[in-house]
Amino acid sequence: MVIVGAFWGDEGKGKIVSYLAKHDRLDVCVRTGSVNAAHTVWLKGRRYALHMVPAAFVHEKCRLLVGAGANIQLSQFMKEVEETNVRDRIGVDPQASIIEEKHSIQDKTKAHLKGLGTTGWGVGPAIEERVARTAKIVRDVAKLQPYLVDVSREVNDAIDKDKNVLLEGTQGLLLSLFHGSYPYVTGRDTSASAVCSEVGVGPTKIDDVLLVFKSFITRVGTGPLPGELTMEEAKKRRCFETAAGTGRERRSAPFNFKLAKKAVMINGATQAALTKLDILFPQCRGARDYDRLQEDAKRFVAKIEEMTGVAVVLIGTGPEVLDVVDRRR
């Protein structure tokens, strides 16, 4: 299965991946993208904002991998490996790129990138170097030698053995370099096909593409946001957020059915998850049973299904890993 975000990132992919890891007992989870994206996981009252380690770390038997198309920020990788205690079960592809200090400096000082409101981690400039074929890659870094593994081989072997494998996409479709609101986008394609490509898995090997929607839309950085709410209005509707990674204030807007349809189409989504339903409908908080949702919350879910043609199989009702209504049963 591939998991991707529908809008401008921050849909709550971390929450959904961690739920699937525990509930479905995932065997393998592969992280793609880079350190600019933070996936938030709440586990036993503790909050993790993961920039490098796959969110499936919460399931202790899950093998964790970082694909060849990813960009590794060494100090953040090491820090998270310590924090999540996954040294013995994480592997990194030797061909993944390295983000160096100079890339972060370029990201923060180039006027053009500042204008886009990049995260400043240096991901765009690191990708530029990869395209120029001057980038340092994982196999060149001494500290990463203990983690080296042929990720595409390991993942394809696991799929052939019918193991439960999840490819963890990052950001959202509308930040895609190709399909997003260019030039106000990130430096990579964020669609499901690109996730497969970054890991090294062919499209015929994928059973499901799970598209993650949030019950409202948020965006950090500059660029268009249809239906944007003022900060006061966003606070009133309880959908004002700050970024998990950079701490920046997020802009917000109501759910957008037209954009949802586009994300379903380009990702070839077969299923959807809807997060933070409890923000729009506070009585849903902590619900784990569909029948516990209010009628207007159920109507909202039904409307998404009707407008997009995709079943909403998982519904997030609170921050903890298991605060989910699972309709797959």
Active site amino acids: 10, 39
In the list 54, 69, 124, 169, the residue contacting ligand IMP (rule: CB under 6 A) is 124
- Report, in Å, the least distance between residue 18 CB and ligand IMP: 16
Site string for ligand IMP, 88-117 (x = CB under 6 A): ----------------------------xx
- Report, in Å, the least distance between residue 12 CB and Mg ion: 9
Q: CB neighbours (10 Å) of residue 134? A: 8
Spatial distance between the Cα atoms of 274 and 15, rounded to a whole number of angstroms = 11
- For residues 276, 280, 285, 291, the Cα torsion angle rounded to the nearest 10 degrees is -100
Spatial distance between the Cα atoms of 119 and 107, rounded to a whole number of angstroms = 8
Q: CB neighbours (10 Å) of residue 102? A: 12
Size of the site for ligand IMP (CB under 6 A): 19
- Report, in Å, the least distance between residue 39 CB and ligand IMP: 8
Judged by CB, which is closer to ligand IMP: 22, or 51? 51
| Positions in 6-65 near Mg ion (CB under 5 A) | 10, 38
In the list 18, 32, 36, 197, the residue contacting ligand IMP (rule: CB under 6 A) is 36
* SS3 at position 252: strand
Residue 253's closest CA among 282, 272, 233, 273?
233
Site string for Mg ion, 210-249 (x = CB under 5 A): ----------------------------------x-----
Spatial distance between the Cα atoms of 153 and 29, rounded to a whole number of angstroms = 14
Q: For the chain, how far is it from start to end, CA to CA, in angstroms?
A: 17
- Residue 71 binds which of ligand IMP, Mg ion, none (CB < 5-8 A, kind-dependent): none
| Positions in 142-201 near Mg ion (CB under 5 A) | none
Residue 186 lies near ligand IMP (rule: CB under 6 A)? yes
Site string for ligand IMP, 212-231 (x = CB under 6 A): --------xx----------
- Taking the alpha carbons of 276, 69, 192, 30 in that order, is the dihedral positive or negative? negative
Enter the tokens of residue 76: 């953040």
In the list 20, 21, 30, 37, the residue contacting ligand IMP (rule: CB under 6 A) is 37
- Residue 116 binds which of Mg ion, ligand IMP, none (CB < 5-8 A, kind-dependent): ligand IMP
Residues forming beta bridges with residue 242, ordered by sequence position: 249
Cβ atoms 169, 4 nearer than 8 A = yes
Judged by CB, which is closer to Mg ion: 4, or 38? 38
Spatial distance between the Cα atoms of 67 and 69, rounded to a whole number of angstroms = 5
Residue 271's closest CA among 305, 318, 321, 316?
305
Residues of this chain that bind ligand IMP (CB under 6 A): 8-10, 36-37, 116-119, 121, 123-124, 170-171, 175, 186-187, 220-221
| Site for Mg ion, rule CB under 5 A | 10, 38, 244
